[in-house]
Amino acid sequence: MNMFNGLPKNVIKFLSNKSNLFQDLSVILKMPKWIFIKALFKNDK
């Protein structure tokens, strides 16, 4: 699965903490939401 459907340059900057707010939002908004929603409701006790 390709989690980052954006420009590789933006993804690398995002992962290395060197991106600006616009680049952060562009990467975050392109990520699949379902993975995070499932993890939010997963019950691991």
Residue 28 sits in which domain range? Answer: 8-41
Beta-carbon count within 10 A of 44 CB: 4
Asked whether residue 32 is assigned to any structural domain, the reply reads yes
In a domain, 3, yes or no: no
Structural domain includes residue 1:
no
Q: What is the pLDDT of residue 17?
A: 94
Residue pLDDT, tens place only, 1-45: 465 666 788 888 989 999 999 998 988 888 888 888 888 888 665
Q: Considering its fold, how many domains does the chain have in total?
A: 1
pLDDT, position 21: 94
Q: Is the dihedral of CA 33, 5, 14, 1 positive or negative?
A: positive
Q: Has residue 13 been placed in a domain?
A: yes
